[in-house]
Amino acid sequence: MSAALDRLLRALAAAGPEVDVAPLIDDIESLVEDDPEGSRSAVRSFAGEEGMRLRLVGFLGDARDFDFLAAALADPQLRSTALEGLTNQPDVERVDALARTLLDDADPKVRSRAAGIVAFHARPGALEVLLPLADDPVPQVRMVLGWYLGGLPGRVAEPTLRGLLADPDDQVRAFAARGLARLNRQ
């Protein structure tokens, strides 16, 4: 398995922008899923693009990689990918705490991803820290918030979702309606 993983990782590192890497990534993730411990050193030493290495390390979901992924949050170019990698970490409390610090990040993609993590874990105070995003200047952030709020337990997000139904952006309104539908299925 190690030889196959090494071969796939080398191919991924060598792939140019014109290459569809999705099949390579699928194969790598399959091998990693079959043997996360045996794959860890190969994935950690991946010599390709750093964002891809973070994504692969995140896929491992190994608690020993928390600090590595968290350190990458310092780089604005890697922050969103590092946050994505942290989603598989087993220490939910630490992941949630980090995500909450990024809800006001300058990058809307980071704010959206952080909102998803906070909503998914639904730890105490999740709704309160997510509420300011209902007024985010970027419609994409408000849109994904509508979906994420629908996943919170109970009906605590219903008033906010109803407010998003009046948003000037049609996508935001559509996702608020989807969020309400999710609430109704609980």
pLDDT digits (tens, 9 = 90+) for 150-180: 999 988 999 999 999 999 999 999 999 999 9
Mean pLDDT of 88-109: 96
pLDDT tens track for 130-144: 999 999 999 999 999
Angle at 127 between CA 126 and CA 130, to 5 degrees: 90
| Residue the block writes with tokens 């309160």 | 128
The contacts of residue 39 (CB under 8 Å, 6+ apart) are 1, 5, 31, 32, 60
With cut-offs at 50, 70 and 90, classify the pLDDT of residue 1: low
How confident is the prediction for the chain on average, in pLDDT?
93
User: 83: closest CA among 106, 104, 112?
Assistant: 112
Contact (CB, 8 A) for 5 and 31: yes
pLDDT tens track for 9-18: 889 888 888 9
pLDDT of 45 reads 87
Residue predicted with more confidence, 40 or 164? 164
Residue 33 amino acid letter: E
In percent, the amount of the chain with pLDDT more than 70 equals 99
With cut-offs at 50, 70 and 90, classify the pLDDT of residue 115: very high
Q: Is the pLDDT of residue 70 over 90?
A: yes
